[in-house]
């Protein structure tokens, strides 16, 4: 029996209980899944009407296993962690102070740069596989990749002593790079999907819905990495403060969207994998399960990082820790992961 590291529950009416060192999922009294606590990294609840016992919450907190909740569109709306994980002080004090000084500018610029370069890398990756089969598409994607990456020099030249001074200009650079990136999706996707362009919340097509759902799964992984690094997920830099919005999660997720989710969705679409919406234009249960499995599996795939090949999940945790040490002054620079296939 394979070891279960992530327990994903997406059946309406499911109940999660603890039974002899395991978490057990039942639907109408029938066991549908089971996972030993000793191997479990997280629980993802991705459906309505799911119940869980207080024993499950206590066991997960004791073992350091987070419980993430996402809705049918992939919107993360809650997370349960052990209270002890949020008890750090020094790192959070420096994180808050950094918002008004050069550290906040450096972090914001580094994250935007990594996001742009990862988007360009995915376009180049897709172009290589079309060089002989579709030379015109190859040229188009290579050209768009160059345009996307070209915004890095503009990003580096942005003036400002605090993120408040440069936020709007930085977001403008990101937005213009993203325009060319998403234009490339028209060439990368099979025509039958009728790609309407990138749409976030409320998307009615299956590709945008798949992206949104995948980002929701990734969101929980980023939040976990941030909390384990001793950072405050609500005190971000690029994304402005808003009640109930984990701004730092929204910041740190950006470089990981392309390698962890976009590449997965493109791969599934180009392999003609069935991706379907239900009668209310939400991803159906099999598609949600498939996406969650593939995104989580992608995070376990190794990438080249600091001279080694390590799982993307480990790189994400390293980035969060490196961010914390940079903000405390124990690291000279913060350089987040950039995909380079």
SS (H, E, C) 241-295: CCCCCCHHHHHHCHHHHHHHHHHHHHHHHHCCCCCCECCCCCECHHHHHHHHHHH
Report pLDDT for 83: 65
Q: Which positions ≥6 away from 167 have C-beta within 8 Å?
A: 108, 238, 240
Instruction: Please compute, for residue 100, the number of CA atoms within 13 A of its CA located in the half-sphere on the CB side.
Output: 4
Report pLDDT for 237: 96
Using CA atoms, how far apart are residues 259 and 236, in angstroms rounded to an integer? 22
> Any alpha helices (H) in 25-101, and if so which ranges?
54-63, 90-98
Q: Output the six-digit token pair for 250.
A: 């929204």
CB 50 within 8 Å of CB 28: no
Question: Would you give the distance in Å from CA 121 to the centre of its chain?
Answer: 17
The total of other beta-carbon atoms located within 10 Å of residue 107's CB is 25
CB 137 within 8 Å of CB 191: no
Find residue 79's DSSP bridge partners: 68
Closest CA to 206 of 285, 290, 278: 278
Report pLDDT for 1: 55
Report pLDDT for 128: 94
> Any alpha helices (H) in the chain, and if so which ranges?
54-63, 90-98, 102-128, 135-149, 151-156, 163-188, 206-228, 247-252, 254-257, 263-270, 285-299, 312-328
Closest CA to 203 of 223, 182, 222, 187: 182
CB 286 within 8 Å of CB 269: no
Report pLDDT for 85: 62
- Match 């989580």 to its residue by tokens: 296
CB 261 within 8 Å of CB 227: no
Report pLDDT for 186: 95
Q: Which positions ≥6 away from 40 have C-beta within 8 Å?
A: 4, 5, 6, 7, 23, 60, 63, 65
CB 336 within 8 Å of CB 114: yes
- Eight-class DSSP state of 85: G
Going along the chain from its start, the domains and CATH numbers come out as 6-65 (3.100.10.20), 90-328 (1.20.120.920)
pTM value is 0.87
Instruction: Please compute, for residue 339, the number of CA atoms within 13 A of its CA located in the half-sphere on the CB side.
Output: 27
Q: Mean pLDDT by 10-residue block, N- to C-terminus, for the chain (341 residues)?
A: 80 92 92 89 88 92 86 80 70 95 97 98 95 94 98 96 95 98 96 93 93 95 92 93 88 98 97 93 93 96 90 96 96 94 84
Q: How deeply is 309 buried, as exposed, middle or buried, from its count of CB atoms within 10 A (0-12, 13-18, 19+)?
A: exposed
Report pLDDT for 144: 98
Measured between alpha carbons, how far is residue 57 from residues 42, 83, 291, 325 in Å?
12, 12, 25, 31
């Amino acid at each position: 029996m394979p070891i279960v590291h992530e327990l994903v529950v997406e059946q309406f009416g499911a109940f999660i209980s603890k039974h002899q060192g395991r978490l057990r999922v039942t639907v109408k009294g029938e066991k549908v899944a089971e996972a030993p606590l000793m191997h479990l990294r997280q629980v993802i609840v991705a459906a309505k009407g799911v119940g869980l016992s207080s024993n499950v919450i206590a066991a997960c907190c004791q073992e350091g296993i987070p419980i993430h909740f996402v809705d049918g569109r992939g919107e993360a709306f809650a997370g349960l962690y052990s209270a002890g994980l949020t008890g750090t002080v020094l790192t959070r004090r420096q994180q808050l102070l950094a918002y008004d000084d050069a550290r906040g500018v450096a972090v914001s610029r580094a994250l935007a740069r990594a996001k742009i370069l990862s988007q360009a890398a995915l376009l180049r990756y897709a172009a290589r596989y079309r060089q002989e089969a579709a030379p015109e598409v190859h040229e188009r994607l290579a050209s768009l990749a160059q345009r996307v990456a070209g915004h890095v020099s503009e990003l580096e030249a942005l003036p400002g002593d605090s993120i408040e001074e440069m936020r709007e200009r930085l977001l403008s650079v990101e937005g213009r790079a993203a325009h060319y990136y998403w234009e490339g999706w028209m060439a990368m996707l099979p025509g039958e999907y009728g790609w309407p362009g990138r749409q976030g919340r409320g998307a009615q097509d299956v590709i945008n819905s798949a992206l949104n759902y995948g980002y929701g799964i990734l969101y929980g992984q980023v939040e976990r990495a941030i909390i384990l690094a001793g950072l405050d997920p609500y005190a971000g830099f690029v994304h402005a403060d808003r009640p109930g919005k984990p701004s730092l999660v929204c910041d740190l997720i950006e470089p990981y969207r392309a390698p962890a989710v976009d590449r997965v969705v493109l791969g599934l679409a180009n392999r003609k994998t069935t991706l379907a919406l239900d009668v209310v234009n939400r991803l159906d249960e099999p598609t949600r399960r498939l996406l969650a499995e593939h995104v989580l599996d992608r995070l376990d795939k190794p990438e080249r990082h600091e001279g080694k090949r390590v799982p993307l999940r480990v790189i994400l945790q390293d980035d969060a820790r490196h961010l914390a040490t940079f903000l405390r002054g124990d690291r000279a620079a913060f350089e987040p992961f950039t995909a380079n296939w």
